[in-house]
Structure formats: structure tokens, C-alpha cells
A and B are shown apart, each in its own frame.
Chain A
Amino acid sequence: MKIKLIASVSFSLMIARIKQTTVAAVGVTFSITMFITLLSFMGGLNDLLDGLITKRSPHVRLYNEVQPSEVQPVDRFSQFEGYHNFVSSVKPKNELPEIYNSREIMNTLEKDPRVSGISPKITAQVFYNIGSIDFAGSINGIDVDAESKLFAFSDYVTTGNYIDLKNTPNSIILGKGVADKMLADVGDLIQVTTSKGERVQLKVVGYFQSGLLDLDKVQSYASITTAQKLLGESDSYITDIQIKLNDLAMAPELAKEYARIFETNAIDIQTANAQFETGSSVRTLISYAVGITLLIVAGFGIYNILNMMIYEKMDSIAILKATGFSGSDVKSIFIIIALSIGVFGGLLGLVFGFCFSLIIDQIPFVTAALPTIKTYAINYNPKFYIIGIVFSIVTTYFAGYFPAKKASKLDPVIIIRGK
């Protein structure tokens, strides 16, 4: 009953100054609209750029680096135990970057409940031959099914069918840049020279475009058996095991654990791509800062309009007080005005923000670097909408609080005497 009475007075005051009230609400609507649009757009962009790396990267990668042995023969000699030994110019042993016991490791990993999938890989250094010219590159031997399932390999095969890589023996999917250089069409035979000096002919079954131009100029894909043949190794030869986890956050911990158990090198995605993480968080921070600035500006607008309203409606405030409304009642009246502006303006802003996001989502965005992207990306995270409405209510509350407090302190005697 009391709230109803106070609300009815608030609404009558708002209707009496409908123009200013509308302007204030439009200010809030505008800032919330921009807040939502900006964050959705930034969020979409972040997801897009992160996806470029994180979707294609294993959470943990096991590999063997060519490195000198940590234990030198002199260390094993019991006679020199407790001595300081100096060995200069230590060289690594002549061995291939092979993961030993790869089959056993893969079997163990497949049983690990924390792992969602694994995909073995071989990296082979080759020369692409174009007539008399050779240029360096690498061929990744992959398990086609696992690679498409875990790393969306098929998305990046822009020409040809990725599954042909598995079904056609001695086939290759060329990087777009490599293909352009070699003038190779799908169905052509190309020739590569392996690091051991053998020349091998491979059939082109498609083009691959990762979005990273430099990568596409050197990298191509072949099936794992083709790569093993290129290197002249047995079918147990594997240089990398890519692991996708159920929980991305566990990657650094598990990388350490696997490195210890399997006696290989292991790197987690966070360490490998630290710079992307930083970029995303800075972009998000900037969009929040801009959005919040807009809201605060709108808050000042509300503050001004309420102040004016109080000056214009001093008589009404005085008579309300004279006839028995207390200071806190008067304060409630003006806070209700501010909050209604905030709530209505804010809700409208959410709707407009959503509409703008939908529009941006339809704008074509075609770039050679991102073959799978056709329009600008938008992130429709409900979190943005919740933050938006909460923020609009909080700012308008504070914008209304100070004028309301002033109104509650007004002395009716001074106003009535002034007449």
C-alpha cells in the first residue's frame, strides 16, 4: 500500500517531465546497447582468434627433442663419485626424434579417463621439387580420422575431400601456399625429396588452409603410413602424440605427469600459446572499460535530470512533507524514479543490443586467412546481458541516490515561506 502510493507519486512526476525522463532512459538504453554489442562482438572475435589456435592445438603434446644426454659416462663411473666433473662440448646422440614404445604409450593414454582423445603424428622434413628448384617444407603424417575428430582437420581442407587422404595410397593434401607455388591441381602428381635423399611421387587430393599464411607455405599433410614410408621407418615410428583432455585447465599438470611417466618431452597448450591468452584478456578488459564508461556517462545524465526535477518540483516536495510524508518517503520517490529509468532503459538496451548483435552476425566477413569464417563472429553469452542489466540498475541507483537524498533534506518551511 505504501509502496503503491509512493510509486504512484513517482510515476506522476515522471509523466509530468516525460521528455527529460525519456532522454535519461534513452541515455541508459544507448549505453547498454553499446555495452552488449561491444562485448558480444569482442567476445566473438576472441573466440574466433583463440579458436584459430586452440581448436587446432593439442592440449598436451608428447615429443622427443634432440638434446644431449643429461647423464654422461663419467657420471656413472663409481671411482669419480663425489667429484666435480667438467665435460665440455657435449653433443647429442645420433638418434631420430622418435617416441619409443609409442604403441604402449597410446594404449595407456586411451585408458586414461582424463583424456578425451589422442592422435599420433609424424613430422617429416622434405624438399618440394618444382622442376629443378627445391624448397624446404614439412609433411605431417596424421591419423586422418582422429585428426578430424579432435582438431577439426576437415574444416581446413578447402579443396578436395579430406577422407581421400586415408583412402588413396601415397596421397598428399598440400598447404595452399605450397600448392600455389607448385602450380599443382587436385589429381596432379608432385615429387618430394626426403631428408634421406629419396625422391617420392605423391598424388595431390586436396588443399589445406590453416589461416596462418606462413604455415601454409611450408606444411602439407599425408597419412601416417605414407609419412612412415617417406622416412623409411617401421609402422611403430611416431614423433608426436597429441592429446586432447576433458578439462583444458588440467593440461599443465598432466603435461608434467606424462613427461615423467613416459620419459618424453611434454608441452601443454597454456605454455605453448601464452600470448593468445594475454591478447584475449586485454581485449575483454578494454571492452568492459568502454562499456562501463558509457554507463557512467548515462548515470551523470540521470543525475542532472533528477536534480532539475527536484528544483522544478520543490513545491510538491514541500507539500508532501507538510502533509505527512517523511524524508525517507521523499527519498524513495526519487530513487524509484531513477530505478525505473534504469530498469526500463536497461531492458530496452538489452533488446537493442541483441538486435545489433544479430545484425553484425549477418555482416559478411570473408578473408583468405580464415576459410571457415563467412560473417563476423558474435558471442551470445548470457553473462554479458546479466552484467549489463545489473550495471544499469546499480549506476542509476547511485545517480538517483544523491539527488534523492537532497530532496529528502529539503526544508518545507523555507520553500513555503519563500512564496
Chain B
Amino acid sequence: MSEVVLEARNVNKYFHDPVTNQVLKDVNLTIEKGVFASVMGKSGCGKSTLLYILSTMDTDYEGELLIDGVNMRNRTEKELARVRNEKIGFVFQFHYLLNEFSVIRNVMLPGLKLEKYSEKEIEQKAYEKLKLLGIESEALKKPNQLSGGQKQRVAIARALINDPLIIMGDEPTGNLDKKNSEVVYEIFNQLAETYNQSLLIVTHDQEFANRTHRIIEMVDGSIVTINHLKK
């Protein structure tokens, strides 16, 4: 058994508006290092909600969340921001790049915030990440000059800049065509296989999920099956 990077114990979550409604029921989950996991389920089954709890952005839940063996309960907003910055990389359905900054600057932003390396080193790393994703030639352009697939790759590069413990994706291929979805899958797969990167991706795409290491299937706020495909 390899090292556990993320663990959720008995996570429950309620929405109170307009009526109290339990959206997550006793969710237990562990992700080990190097695992490429996908979360499947119908719309409204709570998979995105789970992802936001696991990513520390949503703090209104019951149960325990451990990232890198550290409990995330009773942390200040600043500490959680630091955890997100250092240990989690995000890729959303929408790219959320800042159009005012160049591509390279967008990738550098979380690194600059972390302040672990000098600006020069961060720039160097950002170039490496862009190169890894095959878009280093677009580094100095503005995000709105790029195609949808390129933008999503920039977003992935941004997620990678601080060498996170785990990459979380909320339907990262949801807005992309077949070809670009394929590219994004290839990148994720390469990260998991070559760099031993942990990934947790929420998706609707059955074909995408089938090629991951593990499929976590959710129905009505509970995990019904965990399907270990590889590893």
C-alpha cells in the first residue's frame, strides 16, 4: 500500500436552503500517491459538492478530511488558502485564466503566491510546465488569443506549478471537443504514469473514466462502488 495523500472519513453534507437536504451521506474515500481516480455519477448526485469539500473550499460539512495526513478541521481561512496553494492543483470545466495577464504570468501566479522560489525560478518552472504540455510557444500571448484546448492546457500548467500533492478536476473535459478531451486525458495519464501524480477528476465522460485507475461511482450522495481498474 502506497502513501495516502487524501482521506475523507464519514463526510456528511447538508444544504439548508430552501429545506434541509442531505447531499452527501457518510462518504469514505482514500486516494494514494500516483492514483488517477475519476468520480462518476448523474447530475446532482453530489460529486462536485464532494470535490469542493475535499479541496477545502467548502468548510461546511461533518466528518473528517485529512490532506497529507493533516486534519483540515478548525483551520483558519488563511491556513486553508495556504493548503490549496501548496498541495492542491485545480482544473475546472471553465479555464478561469486572467485575461489581463500573459499565459506565463497566469501559470506563475500560484507560485508567486507560495513564495517558495524566486521569481526567476518560478518563471523557469512555468516554462517547463508549458513545455510539458506542448504550449511553450504561446507563453507570451494573452489567454483570450488561445483556443479552448490550449486554454485548458494552460490551466493544467497553472495547477502543476507548485508541484501539488493532488490535482483535482471538475469536469475538465466538459467544454472540450473529442480531440482536445483526448489531449487532456493523455496529459493526465502521463502525469500519473510518469510523474506518479495523484489525480481526482469528476467527469461525465464514461470513456474518459474507463481509462483511469479507479472509478468512484456516486448515487444520491453516497459512494456505491469503487472500481479498481489498474494498480
Task: For the complex formed, measure the closest distance between the CB of B102 and the CB atoms of chain A, giving whole angstroms.
Answer: 10
Chain A: residues with Cβ within 8 Å of the partner, total of 28
Inter-chain pairs besides A326-B77, A417-B52, 14 sampled, C-beta below 8 Å: A12-B100, A15-B100, A315-B96, A319-B96, A319-B97, A322-B55, A322-B96, A323-B85, A323-B158, A324-B114, A326-B78, A413-B58, A416-B52, A419-B94
Name B99's contact: one of A16, A326, A413, A416 (CB within 8 Å): A16
Chain B positions within 8 Å of A365 at CB level: none
Task: State the B residues within 8 Å of A (CB).
Answer: 48, 52, 55, 57-58, 77-78, 81-82, 84-86, 90, 92-94, 96-101, 109-110, 112-115, 119, 158, 170
A16 touches B90 (CB 8 A): no
Chain B positions within 8 Å of A326 at CB level: 77-78, 81-82
Interface centre among A2, A9, A319, A417 (most CB of B within 10 A): A319
B113 touches A316 (CB 8 A): no
Task: For the complex formed, measure the closest distance between the CB of B154 and the CB atoms of chain A, giving whole angstroms.
Answer: 12
Which residues of A in the span 308-328 have a Cβ within 8 Å of any Cβ on B? 315-316, 318-328
Q: Is A1 engaged at the interface, CB distance under 8 Å to the other chain?
A: yes
B78 touches A328 (CB 8 A): yes
Q: Is A96 engaged at the interface, CB distance under 8 Å to the other chain?
A: no
Q: How distant is the Cα of A169 from the Cα of B48 in the complex, in angstroms? A: 108
Q: How distant is the Cα of A21 from the Cα of B54 in the complex, in angstroms? A: 38
Q: How distant is the Cα of A389 from the Cα of B90 in the complex, in angstroms? A: 43
B115 touches A324 (CB 8 A): no
Known: A2-B115, A328-B78. A323 touches B110 (CB 8 A): yes
Q: Is A371 engaged at the interface, CB distance under 8 Å to the other chain?
A: no
Chain A positions within 8 Å of B48 at CB level: 417
Chain B positions within 8 Å of A319 at CB level: 90, 92, 96-98
Task: State the A residues within 8 Å of B (CB).
Answer: 1-2, 5, 9, 12-13, 15-16, 315-316, 318-329, 411-413, 416-417, 419
Q: How distant is the Cα of A11 from the Cα of B96 in the complex, in angstroms? A: 19
Chain B positions within 8 Å of A322 at CB level: 55, 57, 84, 90, 92, 96
A323 touches B90 (CB 8 A): yes
Name B110's contact: one of A1, A318, A324, A411 (CB within 8 Å): A324
Task: For the complex formed, measure the closest distance between the CB of A322 and the CB atoms of chain B, giving whole angstroms.
Answer: 5
Q: How distant is the Cα of A325 from the Cα of B109 in the complex, in angstroms? A: 10
Chain A positions within 8 Å of B99 at CB level: 16
Known: A328-B78, A413-B52, A413-B57. A323 touches B109 (CB 8 A): yes
Q: How distant is the Cα of A12 from the Cα of B100 in the complex, in angstroms? A: 6
Q: How distant is the Cα of A419 from the Cα of B170 in the complex, in angstroms? A: 11
Known: A413-B57, A416-B92, A416-B170. A321 touches B100 (CB 8 A): no
Closest to A322 in B: B90
Task: For the complex formed, measure the closest distance between the CB of B157 and the CB atoms of chain A, giving whole angstroms.
Answer: 12
Task: For the complex formed, measure the closest distance between the CB of B115 and the CB atoms of chain A, giving whole angstroms.
Answer: 6
Interface centre among B57, B78, B100, B158 (most CB of A within 10 A): B100
A323 touches B94 (CB 8 A): no
Known: A324-B84, A324-B86, A326-B81. A316 touches B98 (CB 8 A): yes
Known: A12-B100, A316-B98, A319-B96. A325 touches B77 (CB 8 A): no
Chain A positions within 8 Å of B77 at CB level: 326-327
Chain A positions within 8 Å of B94 at CB level: 315, 416, 419
Known: A325-B113, A412-B57. A318 touches B96 (CB 8 A): yes
Closest to B97 in A: A319
Closest to B159 in A: A323
A323 touches B115 (CB 8 A): no
Of all A-B residue pairs in the complex, the 8 with the closest CB atoms, nearest first, are: A324-B85, A12-B100, A326-B81, A319-B96, A323-B110, A326-B78, A16-B100, A5-B112
Chain B positions within 8 Å of A15 at CB level: 100
Chain B positions within 8 Å of A325 at CB level: 81, 85, 113
Closest to B53 in A: A413
A323 touches B113 (CB 8 A): yes
Chain A positions within 8 Å of B57 at CB level: 321-322, 411-413
